[in-house]
Chain A
Amino acid sequence: DGGITQSPKYLFRKEGQNVTLSCEQNLNHDAMYWYRQDPGQGLRLIYYSQIVNDFQKGDIAEGYSVSREKKESFPLTVTSAQKNPTAFYLCASSRRTAHTDTQYFGPGTRLTVL
């Protein structure tokens, strides 16, 4: 999982609660990404960041928020506005947001809403 850590591995949330998923990388990468994966599905992009203090919405940003205060860290908050948050969340990074760049993934956080 190459230099990217995500915590916790499993997370349980009660309805109405906000939760924050951690993502840290020591690869000195500029770009970071958050994806959501549902069972048997591909990855859908939630948010991405090309540089510190800047981020853009992906395809399914509603009900999520992010921050990028440090190059190494890109936490994702799942808010109570996200109606169906139970999923597997993957964080990734790449040297740049360029089409030739490989993305390196963390091990994922499995979020379950009780």
Chain B
Amino acid sequence: SQQGEEDPQALSIQEGENATMNCSYKTSINNLQWYRQNSGRGLVHLILIRSNEREKHSGRLRVTLDTSKKSSSLLITASRAADTASYFCATDNSNFGNEKLTFGTGTRLTIIP
């Protein structure tokens, strides 16, 4: 079963607005990563947040992590048409070692020009 579940499944906003998507997971993690996937393409890494961090920024991206609630959020500020993509969270399970990531089902973000 998927470790991470993104919410919402789909999101449409006007260009220039902020977009927030959430990820919930079930078991303890070492870190959480966010990836972007343009339609029909491979995934691109966006940001990694460690379990002992609460917030991290990268350009227009802001990620938060709440380990007590087993959840993370990705905020994209001042959205652009080029941000249209699917966004996935990925977690490793600290109980089962470090060999692999488990990806969520993704949030499909559409930016309306």
Contacts and interface: CB of A to CB of B under 8 A. Distances in A.
A, B bound: yes
Interface of A: 1, 4, 33, 35, 40-45, 48, 50, 56, 58, 88, 90, 92, 97-100, 102-108, 110
Interface of B: 2, 4, 30-31, 33, 35, 40-45, 48, 50, 88, 90, 92, 94, 98-106
B88 to A, nearest CB: 6
Contacts, number: 64
Contacts of A99: 30-31, 92, 94, 98, 101
A42 B42 contact: no
Nearest to B105: A42
A88 B37 CA distance: 13
B89 to A, nearest CB: 9
Contact of A106 (B42, B92, B102): B42
Contact of A98 (B4, B42, B98, B102): B98
Contacts of A88: 40
A43 B100 contact: no
A56 B99 contact: yes
Contacts of A50: 99
29 contacts: A1-B42, A4-B42, A33-B100, A35-B103, A41-B106, A42-B2, A42-B88, A42-B105, A43-B43, A43-B103, A44-B103, A45-B102, A48-B100, A50-B99, A88-B40, A90-B42, A90-B43, A92-B43, A97-B98, A98-B98, A99-B31, A99-B92, A99-B101, A100-B50, A105-B35, A105-B42, A105-B43, A107-B41, A107-B42
A102 B2 contact: no
Nearest to A100: B31
Nearest to B31: A99
Contacts of A105: 35, 42-44
A99 B101 CA distance: 8
Contacts of B100: 33, 45, 48, 58, 97
B48 A100 contact: yes
A33 B33 CA distance: 16
Contact of A1 (B41, B88, B92): B41
Nearest to A48: B100
